[in-house]
Amino acid sequence: MATAHPISAENGSVAPTASNWKADVDRWIYVFTAGLMFTLVLIGFVPDSMRRIAAVNAGELPPFPPILHVHAVLMGSWITLLLIQSTLMATGRRNWHMQTGIAGLFLLPSMVIAGFLLVPVRRSQLAEMIANAPANVAAQLQSDLVPVVNNIMLLQIRAGILFAILASLGLWFRKRDSGMHKRLMFLATLVPMPAALDRMEFLPQSMPEGTMTVELYPLAVIAPMFIWDLFRLGRIHKAYWIWIALTVPAALLTDRLWSSPEWFSIAARVGGLG
């Protein structure tokens, strides 16, 4: 998440001769975007988590597995680090930024591993709940809930892979191309944002029937940063092309597999949830 400041126009950033207001926006647009992501995560997850905690306490849901707490802490740490890093650069504290950014090298693999471990654990919990439920309840869960969980796993796998690729590329560019680095770190963080956005019941949602809002809402989140880049550079920065090249095929594949017998057949092998 490092950003040399100021840097060359080739890296897609601030030129020393830029007017003051443009230079200010160049710095603070990333703080704004990180703050927006941070706020959306809180809005999406806090009310949902409170409801789930109440359901666990009432015996309506099984206790949260330890890996879920680990995953939540890691994801929260990542989005917090993004906000801290962008603020440090905006306020000229580049050395602190470089030092604290090392945490990303440890958070990235930890988050990916925790995310992929969480999927089968949660599915196993649901399988056990169905097995222990009365016959009529089990049948309803099997017909209504299992297909939704299967489709969500498709999104989870996609998010884990794309996040790992984009964040790894971002870290690789850390000392090579600061313009690529900072944008890729934000685009990587955008990948799992639907997990928060889909939990916002006050927004129109295409889930669980389809993925339209899963694809569209993140575009609104990244739009201010993208539009400002387009205005300042007069072109689409190459970091966005990398993101598009990865995201569009993944979205098309997700749409193709969504609720398909082929995908449900594959998903049935994970976590004993047939």
Note if the bond before 65 is cis, omega within 30 degrees: no
134 vs 162, more confident:
162
Whether 274 is in a domain gets the answer no
The whole-model pTM stands at 0.88
Whether 89 is in a domain gets the answer yes
Whether 272 is in a domain gets the answer no
Of 153, 165, 166, 133, the residue nearest 60 (C-alpha)? 133
Of 130, 120, 162, the residue nearest 271 (C-alpha)? 120
Question: H or E element: which one contains 239?
Answer: helix 238-257
Token duo for residue 217: 């809402």
Q: Residue 207 above 60 pLDDT?
A: yes
Whether 227 is in a domain gets the answer yes
How many CB atoms are located within 10 Å of the residue 22 CB? 15
Residue 271, CA atoms < 13 Å, CB-side half-sphere = 23
Q: Residue 157 above 50 pLDDT?
A: yes
Mean pLDDT throughout 12-37? 78
Residue 207 falls in which region: left (phi positive, over 0), alpha (psi -120 to 50) or beta: beta
Whether 64 is in a domain gets the answer yes
* H helices present in 18-145, as ranges: 20-57, 66-90, 94-100, 103-132, 135-144
Of 237, 251, 112, 106, the residue nearest 183 (C-alpha)? 237
Confirm if 30 and 86 have CB atoms less than 8 A apart. yes
Quote the pLDDT of residue 141.
84
Whether 3 is in a domain gets the answer no
Quote the pLDDT of residue 19.
63
Whether 209 is in a domain gets the answer yes
Mean pLDDT throughout 233-257? 97
Confirm if 250 and 157 have CB atoms less than 8 A apart. no
What amino acid occupies position 163? F
Among 35-44, 128-137, 163-172, the least confident range: 128-137
Mean pLDDT throughout 85-101? 89
Domain residues for the domain of 182 are: 9-267
Confirm if 197 and 41 have CB atoms less than 8 A apart. no
Whole-number average pLDDT of the chain = 90
Quote the pLDDT of residue 12.
43
Token duo for residue 226: 């993208």
Whether 142 is in a domain gets the answer yes
Instruction: Work out how many domains the chain is built from and give that number.
Output: 1
